[in-house]
Chains A and B, each alone.
With several copies, the nearest count.
Chain A
Amino acid sequence: MSYIKSKFHHPRLPVNDLGLTYRDYEGALSTLCAGCGHDAITSALVQACHELSLPPHQVAKMSGIGCSSKAPNYYLNKAHGFNSVHGRMPSVTTGANLANKDLTYIAMSGDGDSASIGLGQFAHVVRRQLDMVYIVANNGVYGLTKGQLAATADKGVTNKAGELSLFTDIDLCVMALQLGATFVARSFSGDKKQLVPLLKAAISHQGFAYIDIISPCVTFNNHSTSTRSYDYVHEHITTAAIADFVPVKKEITSDCAEGACEDICLHDGSLMRIRKLESDYETQNPMKAITDIEAHKKKGEILTGLMYLKPTASHFHDINNTADTPLNKLSQDVLCPGSRVLSSINDSFR
């Protein structure tokens, strides 16, 4: 039932550099539960892409299977999307990216999709430093199959059905840091002010960018004892650093106290302005980021914000030394060696 919304454009809707309104970045009507965190991620993504003036059709929307993996249908309807199979989005995205390095790959996954069935592929796509934005909508449960515990659920919590989480949670931010991701952040679908700039930064980052977005499942994991409920997260969230994305043209107004800010220049001349909320925060120290995450967990806090950024990251195609022309655009005369070469090859087998 995913029909497209009314195309009526309010005359006064703000347009971006491409002359597009945010309406041009929307997708089909969501079929998720009213209040689902994933829908908030959707609108944050719409806003981020609009503000970045991304040409919508130059984006590829990738996902696995799950409520979260349905979300790509609800944004950027001018972009192609691929709702693949459960837990295998990373490999499909890898192949798509190998075929055409010029698109922007925004992938949406769930914590079941990535921390359980997809953990191996998650780890290996990080390792391969694929140029993509990897979003996990972290709700601590399997929404689409009605609320079983995910491997990201905190030890000791019970899901709505009363099942107890017996084991320590798998933290995908920590794993991403560990495996060499060049952009790692955690955010909260309930905090658009923090989420939108982080998404803009992740999308602008050339290289592998991971964002873990706590995205409450209102139907199966929003109860009082949950640690992924809106209330709980609002109460226990702390932020290490907020990242503001400053596009190229926009000149920088120094609106922040000494030392509290760090400006990181990105590949295209745009800026990431990091506002440090924790005095001892370091943007480029993955080991420290891991320690901080664990430390806050011990305190019962959820650390969010930008965890790590390597501005001058290399990605798969640099490393592989792939041709500049996307492989899917190479013509037969470039690809096929032809008969003359073949006859000399034949001679090598006589």
Chain B
Amino acid sequence: MSHSINACQAINEFVVRFANTNGTGSASANNMFAKAIIRMGIPVSAKNIFPSNIQGMPTWYEVRISEKNYLARRGGNSELVVAMNAQSMREDIDSVAPGGYLLYDSSKSLSTEGLREDIHYLGMPISAICIKEYQDPRQQQLFKNVIYVGALAALLNIEFEVLKSLVGDQFKSKKKLITPNIYALEIGYQFANRHFTCPLPIKVERRDLINNRIMVDGNTATGLGAVYGGATVVGWYPITPSTSVVEKFASYCERLRIDPATGKKNYALVQAEDELAAIGMAIGAGWNGARAFTATSGPGISLMSEFLGLAYFAEIPVVVIDVQRAGPSTGMPTRTQQSDILSCAYASHGDTKHILLFPSDPAECFELTAMAFDLADQLQTPIIVMSDLDLGMNDHLTEEFAWDDNRKYQLGKVLSQQNLDDIDDFGRYLDVDQDGVCYRTLPGTHPEKGAFFTRGTSRNRYAGYTEKSDDYVDNMQRLNKKFAHASSFLPQAEVNQGKKPAKIGLIYFGTTSHAIEESVAQLKEQGLSADTFRIRAFPFNHQLSDFINNHDHIYVIEQNRDAQMRTLIINELNASPMKLTAIVHYDGLPITSRYIVDNIVLELSANLATQKVG
């Protein structure tokens, strides 16, 4: 078929999409493909689009290769689709860009009806080959994936040596698997060379654009950050997409937190009976002076809200990791969103406010998670790290993790026995330093002094129960003071802005960051220059108000329906809603620069129109 139709041409700038069935072990092969390209010095982003089910359903893996270093999901159709799932063949064919390529298993021939004329079909009888090559059905299954990777090497001009070294690293521990895997790669490689004109017009060429970056998922980074941050107590309950945060924390602890002398654990991890218990444990530990956290997603945040209110009001340090997914309710557990902003910022009944951190890549997951434990101790309140499924579960090319060995944990205002002896008037809630943060004591510190009764009820400065209006108001105002004071501790925003501000300002956070550089470039192509402001923490500070004041058009870009961050900005900074246009993307897939730019342009022209009219 694929005679005189024009072909996609691209070097180091295209998308390869893999269509597989989940539970068939395609993940590691696809991962090998992405890593190989990185090892050739070319930036890559990889998005796993998987079902909320364990086995037998369609799953996709979208690899964007970009020497321009644009690492958001590109969106749109792909130049090359590896279609290994009969179930989804129809939509997979539709997902090929005109002039693009479909690599499929030709053991069974494609049903011809409605086949597109504008794409190239690369048939390879992979199943047949596997049945010939392997007896064990499990192997027939697994090596399929390795074989098509071999074929891709030939088609896309991937250095075979790179793949071999990858296999070597991957099976360091199971050496006997190396040869069969390389053999499978070769099968595919040779088949492709023999039957297709390799390489294709879309291909890769070695570059040196990776520097010291690493490829890792955010949850691994978060778990590791908790280890470095000194977390010792974890209460958790499994929920996608947060589960691997704790699993990674646990596996690093098994390596790094075992007392060499006794073989005993320098940490305690409990799979709780539910999320209420999970955060209850973290709070109990925080109250008792250990660094503690829990990790959860959507529904867990709802269940934790009563306890979050207690921790806010009783002023107990605790770290909560929220790996956001598509809500409401159970929603789409395997899709990404940034839709817990409001439910976290104001979690719990009554006048409650919480500190939020917004990492945008794994390096920052590591850094902000570690920092969260300092902040929790310094501010004696919950710190919620707002990750999401895209960040947490997809591999990202990110700066390597960094740790300064001179850095010291900030344990905040905790009184020692000595301190207590030196003080003659201890009151747990006395605002000694006038910053709203009071001195606390830990159980067991002093035989005579410093003991107090922690409660979720109203109390005076000496921690005594009170229903007196003045005491109550006094305490509530101090909590507000503390919250205002907090912003000075929090990570600064990332601002890109010329000497004279551009007309347009983009406010964004978290994984939306990956699409911003590209968006700015695309806007420039349209003659629109834009400054950018990346929020890294809540509460905000004057920086953000200034940015808003300095720009005529502000776009708040976020991945939820209700423009929750915009609400937070307006509410906390008294910013004019008229000035803040929401660009919301909430279909569960990571946001793209195309979507951002299209919507900004649309809105601007609409704007102009109305101006013309009125």
Contact = CB atoms under 8 A, between A and B. Distances in A.
User: Interface SS of chain A: helix, strand, loop or mixed?
Assistant: mixed
B265 A99 contact: no
Interface residues of A, number: 82
Contact of A349 (B216, B235, B239, B275): B216
B401 to A, nearest CB: 5
Given A61-B453, A338-B403, 7 more contacts: A81-B452, A91-B272, A117-B275, A146-B238, A332-B408, A336-B228, A339-B404
Contacts of A219: 23, 54-55
A94 B280 contact: yes
B265 A321 contact: yes
Interface of A: 1-3, 31-34, 55-58, 60-61, 65, 67, 72-73, 77-88, 90-100, 102-103, 116-117, 119-121, 123-124, 128, 142-146, 148-149, 151, 219, 317, 320-324, 327-328, 330, 332, 334-339, 341-343, 345-346, 349-350
Contacts of A321: 263-265
A343 B408 CA distance: 19
A117 B268 contact: no
Interface residues of B, number: 90
B290 A327 contact: yes
A181 to B, nearest CB: 16
Contacts of B464: 2-3
Contact of A327 (B216, B237, B266, B278): B266
A154 B229 CA distance: 34
B400 A346 contact: yes
B345 to A, nearest CB: 21
Given A56-B447, A57-B443, A99-B232, A120 B273 contact: yes
A140 B259 CA distance: 31
Contacts of B52: 144
Given A85-B329, A94-B284, A119-B273, A330 B405 contact: no
Nearest to A93: B284
B274 A117 contact: yes
A85 B405 contact: no
B290 A328 contact: yes
Contacts of A339: 402-405
Contacts of B329: 85
B523 interface: no
A84 B265 contact: no
Contacts, number: 267
A337 B274 contact: no
A95 B408 contact: no
B267 A327 contact: yes
B123 interface: no
Which A-B residue pairs are the 9 nearest by beta carbons? A95-B284, A91-B280, A99-B290, A95-B281, A117-B274, A349-B214, A80-B443, A99-B288, A92-B284
B506 interface: no
Contact of B288 (A83, A149, A328): A328
Interface string B225-260: 001101011010111100100000000000011010
Contacts of B224: 345
B168 interface: no
A73 B465 contact: yes
